Amino acid sequence: MSEGVRISAEEIGQESEKFAMLVKGLKLAMHGPRAYSSLAAAYATSRIGTSHWAATHLLEMRRPMPDLGYTEILDRFESKGKGVMAVKM
């Protein structure tokens, strides 16, 4: 199990890979996209899967980024514009 979800599922076999929750080989991140709607777009487009390093949710939590055109904290439940935001991040 210390090798991670993907390798563990491969070693267990018996079709356990079907139950391994992975995106691009990486296990699901702690940060859920239901809590921050931008994370769904970030996880889907991230080059490595569900990584919190695609940290678009910072704009929804506590941090405006005027350099990117976001001068105030965004509504975390609003989905409109979050795809564009993920591209900018």
pLDDT digits (tens, 9 = 90+) for 40-78: 778 877 788 777 676 667 777 777 888 888 888 888 888
Q: What pLDDT does 72 receive?
A: 86
Arithmetic mean of pLDDT over the chain: 78
Locate 46 and state its tokens.
Answer: 């991230």
Report pLDDT for 26: 75
Residue with tokens 């859920």: 32
- What does DSSP assign to residue 68? G
Choose among 9, 65, 76: nearest CA to 42.
Answer: 76
Residue written as token pair 């777009």:
41
* Three-class HEC string of 1-59: CCCCHHHHHHHHCCCHHHHCCEECCEECCCCCCCCCCHHHHHHHHCCCCCCCCCCCCHH
pTM: 0.61
